[in-house]
Structure 1
Amino acid sequence: MEKMIEVQNVTFLYESNDQDDVIKALKDINIEVKKGEFVTIIGHNGSGKSTLAKHINALLKPSEGDVWVKGMNTKEEEETWNIRQTAGMVFQNPDNQIVATIVEEDVAFGPENLGVPSPEIRIRVEEALKTVGMLEYREKGPHLLSGGQKQRIAIAGVIAMKPDCIVLDEPTAMLDPSGRKDVMDTIKKLNREENITVLNITHFMEEAVNSDRVIVMEDGDIVLEGTPREVFSKVGELKTLGLDVPQVTDLAFELRKEGIELPEDILTVDEMVMQLCQLK
């Protein structure tokens, strides 16, 4: 399967407020993401996950090592435009990405900057808004939308640029549960139906359950990696890192401590119900 992202021995250094103090935000990181894969990166604040996301979009360049996006090295300045077209990025606050006063004009902004012909832009805008379920709002002002709706418009703006990969840096952090569900349903649909590679940076454990792979970061290092079942079965280790697990997984963990025989890798309510019904 084709590699979409390769992070090879990447270290990133930055200076703290104390000019003499250099901090390693990333420490010899190695990651591969294949085309069409859905990867979630979790970790608490300061773990390095957002720094890593900015490397994939060439917003930051490695101090050591290399980042490749569809075979393009982010250190090569002449590839920056192509890299950002290939790996679109959605940030935490949609207001920072919305630039127009009308929804359809905002979604058209990216393709216009790529030099896409006007007839093609109209087609892309309509398709992108349909994909995120926001076509009926095309003539509305973004300021009239909810947080979840604004984030879906921000995602539509990225989709309209026809990226092969979308990097989402805590896209649901500012949303209520309903908005989070809408945005995550949209992201999963893009991955499943459009085969768009997704790299989702989050601190909501439930968002990682349906990923192909979960990567756990701590202090600039990758400390755990595997399928959601493999990672979240290590409840004690995750709690030691100060991280939560999906609520139903945590419930199973507590019940096991009370002597109830349940599997370690329960991830959903349906799985929990099935296992409890099988108990004698």
Structure 2
Amino acid sequence: MNEVDSMKNIIKIHDLVYEYRKDEEEKVQALKKVSLNVKKGEFLVVIGHNGSGKSTMAKHMNALLLPSGGKVYVKGLDTLEEKNTWEIRQTAGMVFQNPDNQIVATIVEEDVAFGLENLGIEPEEIRKRVEEALKTVDMIEFRKKGPHLLSGGQKQRIAIAGVIAMKPECIIFDEPTAMLDPVGRKEVMDTILKLNKQEGITIVHITHFMDEAVNADRIVVMEEGNIVLEGTPKEVFSQVDTLKKLGLDVPQITELAHQLKKEGMNIPTNILTIDEMVNYLCQL
């Protein structure tokens, strides 16, 4: 992968195949020659239902899984070369579904500091980074609390702070809101958007909630180990019938626009938010 390419694309996936053994007899191909570039600073959302391969692809982006075939490059580094693993994981941090599995300490600020201490960073620098990270996720007033006292959304924001403190250029979120209530989901989505828009961190967000994809720069839809659709939110979600055939929903407002159009109302089908809908209806 050349220098110019790695400056523009922070992650480059080329013909990625991933196979695992189901049992003695059977091998399963979870990814089938998938190719995808993630641009620096982009907010990319990957959607698809369970078993589509989206989480498997995500775990290749910071070398948690290694290709059976094809290549994955993170900032120009080949994930198959063991000497690159440490630097790849410094570049691309990862936040998982269950915050309880990522929280290791009994005090919030100690948890956020945990990864930094393992890197042997100076105590003064650790204090500074922990404070910055907690401010970024709006959790600074909870710094002395025990994580077990927090809500699911707050715990997930602490897990995100622990990743931010490591100063990655890219964060991969693997269904980070799947176990949260609507309030927690909103807290986490607001945090993710802020990281992308204000901090300039590249975001890869894996989800099965369509409403979480509305603010993306680009959406990739996966089905049976392949990328089957790609484009801006408006391009992807205006294909309501295609998405339904794949067993996926569309954002509620898009569904409403689709139904109104079916009833003969002259309305665009690429409306994604309540504000857009209100503006359009007011003009009629």
TM-score by length of 1: 0.98
- How far apart are the structure 2 equivalents of 1:143 and 1:27? 41
What is residue 106 of structure 1 aligned with on the other side? 111
In structure 2, distance between residues paired with 1:116 and 1:34: 29
2:223 counterpart of 1:221: no
| 4+ long deviations beyond 6 Å | none
Equivalent of residue 10 in structure 1, options 16, 22, 27 = 16
Identity among equivalent positions (%) equals 69
Match of 2:176 in 1: 171
Give ranges in structure 1 of 5+ residues lacking alignment.
none
Aligned residue among 15, 22, 28 for 2:33: 28
Structure-2 residue corresponding to 1:160: 165
Q: Deviations over 1:170-194 (max 9, x none)?
A: 0001111111111110111011111
Amino acid of the residue matched to residue 2 of structure 1? K
Alignment counterpart, residue 124 of structure 1, candidates 120, 129, 137 = 129
Per-residue CA distance 1:212-267 (angstroms, 9 max, x = gap): 00000000000000000000000000000000000000011111111111102100
Q: Say which of 255, 261, 266 aligns to 1:261.
A: 266
Letter in structure 1 aligned against 2:21: E
Aligned to 1:249: 254
Q: Distance in 1 between matches of 2:154 and 2:139?
A: 8
Amino acid at match of 2:225: G
Counterpart in the other structure of 1:192: 197
Return the alpha-carbon distance in structure 1 between the equivalents of residues 8 and 133 of structure 2. Answer: 25
**Separation of aligned partners in 2, 1:95 and 1:53:** 20
* In structure 2, distance between residues paired with 1:217 and 1:197: 20
Q: Which has the larger displacement, 251-260 or 91-100?
A: 251-260
SS of the equivalent of 2:279 reads helix
Are residue 76 (structure 1) and residue 89 (structure 2) matched? no
Three-state SS of the structure 2 residue aligned to 1:65 is: strand
For structure 2, list consecutive stretches of 5 or more residues without a partner in the other structure: 1-6
Q: Which residue of 1 aligns with 2:152?
A: 147
TM value normalised by structure 2: 0.97
CA distance in structure 2 between the partners assigned to 1:114 and 1:37 by the alignment: 28
Secondary structure of the structure 2 residue equivalent to 1:46? coil
Q: CA deviation at 1:278?
A: 2.4
C-alpha distance in 1 between matches for 2:169 and 2:119: 15
44-53 or 253-262, larger mean C-alpha shift: 253-262
Report SS of the residue matched to 2:112: helix
Q: Give the AA of the match of 2:125.
A: E
**Does 1:38 find its partner at 2:40?**
no
| Of 238-247 and 265-274, the range deviating more from structure 2 | 265-274
Q: Distance in 2 between matches of 1:193 and 1:41?
A: 21
How far did 1:197 drift?
0.2
What CA distance in whole angstroms lies between the structure 2 residues aligned with 1:114 and 1:78? 17
Structure-2 residue corresponding to 1:59: 64
Give the secondary-structure state (helix, strand or coil) at the position aligned to 1:194: coil
Q: Give me the whole-angstrom Cα distance separating, in 1, the residues matched to 2:168 and 2:201.
A: 8
Q: How many residues align?
A: 278
Residue 271 of structure 1, CA deviation: 1.1
* Counterpart code for 1:7: I
